[in-house]
Amino acid sequence: LNPQLRLVIRLYNRKLGQHLEHLLDQAAALSAPGVDPEALDTTTTVLSDADTAAPALAATAVAGTSKVVQADGLLLRAVERTPPGRGEVADPGLCTLALLSATANDPAGAEGSDVGGAEGPLLLPDERTVAAATGRGTVVLEAVSPTVAAPNGRTTSRRMPLSSLFSRRLRWSLAGLVTSVLALAVASWATTGDHPLHAGYLTLLDLFAIDDPAIGEPLARQLLQLLTGLAGLLLLPVLLAAVLEALGTFRTASALRRPPRGLSGHVVLLGLGKIGTRVLARLRELGIPVVCVEEDPEARGVALARRLRVPTVIGDVTQEGVLEAAKVHRAHALLALTSSDITNLEAALHARSVKPDLRVALRLFDDGFATAVYRTLRSAHPRALTRSRSVSTLAAPAFAGAMMGRQILGAIPVERSVLLFAALDVAGHPLLDGRTVADSFRAGSRRVIALDATAPSERRRDLAASPADDDPDRPTGLVWDLHPGYVLRPEDRVVLAATRQGLAELLRHGPLARTRAGDS
């Protein structure tokens, strides 16, 4: 009906999504012969809410994991900092992205339990507000570093270790028998005066009961032969046990692993649906130990857990004993990602009864329900740290940005709000074109943080894409630490941090909005 229409599709299958993007972009190009495909305002973007929300959910459960957004091969790193002490000055980093709510540093009410209240987070504050704020943590843009193309080396080995093939008791038995045989060989060498190799050979003959009786030999030789034969009798059941254990291990190699007995400091992940599967993959990429809990043995993520050899407990998380089997009493954090808010809350409360200071991250959809949860947990567990995330809130900006033409580079959650990073051409935007960097800044709305100095003909179309494999050393064209007096020109492209309302205001006055208004 409209070949020039921009398409944004929600699809979980990554490979199918890539093929779909390619085919539909080709169809759009064929619908306008003779027109440069780069000049067309038609794109096909396939997104997954699970892929979009997984990095933030994984970062929520792990202390110290940074929230990052990729831009032209660089990583923008946003970190939370505690409020400075009396007489100290807060370090703003490259720039201050947000002031956290008054409850963000209270373990029981972390991340703003009263959503939308007067003490909620303040996004993109000006320098005067930051300087006047006391007792409130900040989210700052701490560093910009080149992305590392190579993996971090923390991969999951597919080789079966010896410890999983044979039990510890069997290994000790084999070691004891080997030690005793060596001792008998040394004793034979010492008492008979034979060559060490010959003494060892005779010991092995006696061990395996090969017919070479020590008739007419000295008494010491005869006693050693009897002892060695006894060791051979003991070796037979141990070898049989080793064979049976190996067969059992190979038979259950495809089965789910149980949590190891001494496991500690891990993340307990509840739910292996679409969201949990992506979060599990993200946590394993970071090298974080995980124990999964899933009620349905045929759930989507069970196959991934089996392939990655991640310990998994099959059972209803609300039933007694299931979280205990996942070693929640020695866990670092609990990440509840089932599709039921009530189930996530019940699991969190049960986990807190086992370990009161456990870090808990909940997947909650409704903000009002999240507020009630925070108030309950704050009074019941005042020393515990709780986080709340909504998959819809995390994924919505990426979908909305794709509808606007692939301008959104990423989104960073700030409590239950979201701060967007976008790339925009200055041309046609009256709120940017001809204004200085300082004049374009609007507290609580938008802030220019970088300038793309690459020539327009050489710019990368999508700054959020990873660097090309054939050009991994391509330098970035983004310039940071812009002078406040720099005047933005029509040929410039900028990277800015904005709230959803601030970005909508820019686009409402942009060239695409005026074109549509003229057409109507």
Confidence of residue 105 (pLDDT cuts 50, 70, 90): low
Across all residues in the chain, what is the average pLDDT? 76
CB 56 within 8 A of CB 67: yes
In this predicted structure, the answer to whether residue 379 has a pLDDT above a threshold of 90 is no
Rounded distance between C-alpha atoms, residue 67 and residue 146, angstroms: 15
Confidence of residue 92 (pLDDT cuts 50, 70, 90): low
**Which residue type sits at 229?**
G
Q: Which range (67-76, 229-238, 383-392) has the least confidence? A: 67-76
Contacts of 185 (CB under 8 A, 6+ apart): 196, 199, 200, 203
Confidence of residue 94 (pLDDT cuts 50, 70, 90): low
Interval 394-404: pLDDT, tens: 788 778 777 76
Compute, in degrees rounded to 10, the torsion defined by CA atoms 128, 129, 134, 136. Answer: -140
Residues 156-184: what's their mean pLDDT? 67
Report residue 239: phi and psi, to 5°: -65, -40
Q: What is the largest CA-CA distance in the chain?
A: 116
pLDDT at residue number 271: 93
pLDDT at residue number 158: 42
**178 sits in which H/E element:** helix 168-192
In this predicted structure, the answer to whether residue 335 has a pLDDT above a threshold of 70 is yes
Rounded distance between C-alpha atoms, residue 171 and residue 320, angstroms: 35
Contacts of 9 (CB under 8 A, 6+ apart): 17, 20, 44, 45, 46, 47
Q: What does the DSSP assignment read for 411-424? A: EEEETTEEEEEEEE
Confidence of residue 435 (pLDDT cuts 50, 70, 90): very high
CB 70 within 8 A of CB 96: no
pLDDT at residue number 183: 85
Distances (CA, A) of 441 to 98, 126, 271, 445, 448: 14, 9, 42, 8, 7
Rounded distance between C-alpha atoms, residue 90 and residue 415, angstroms: 20
pLDDT at residue number 214: 65
Interval 475-519: pLDDT, tens: 567 887 888 899 999 989 898 899 888 888 887 876 655 555 555
**Which residue type sits at 170?**
L
Report residue 275: phi and psi, to 5°: -70, -45
pLDDT at residue number 249: 57
CB 221 within 8 A of CB 191: yes
Q: Which range (85-94, 181-190, 194-203, 329-338) has the least confidence? A: 85-94
Residues 456-462: what's their mean pLDDT? 72
> What tokens appear for 138 in the block?
């900040």
Of the segments 47-51, 209-213, 232-236, which one has the largest average pLDDT value? 47-51
Interval 12-46: pLDDT, tens: 888 898 888 888 888 877 776 665 555 555 678 88
Rounded distance between C-alpha atoms, residue 498 and residue 324, angstroms: 43
pLDDT at residue number 110: 42
> What tokens appear for 414 in the block?
């700030």
* 341-354 vs 367-380: helix crossing angle, rounded to 10: 10
Rounded distance between C-alpha atoms, residue 76 and residue 147, angstroms: 10
Confidence of residue 320 (pLDDT cuts 50, 70, 90): confident
Beta-strand runs (E) in 100-243: 122-123, 138-146
pLDDT at residue number 487: 94
pLDDT at residue number 488: 93
Taking the model in full, what pTM does it have? 0.58
Report residue 178: phi and psi, to 5°: -65, -40
HSE toward the beta carbon, residue 232, CA cutoff 13 A: 14
Sheet holding 95-99, edge to edge: 67-71, 74-81, 138-146, 95-99, 122-123
Confidence of residue 290 (pLDDT cuts 50, 70, 90): very high
Higher-pLDDT residue of 149 and 262 is 262
- DSSP character at residue 320: T
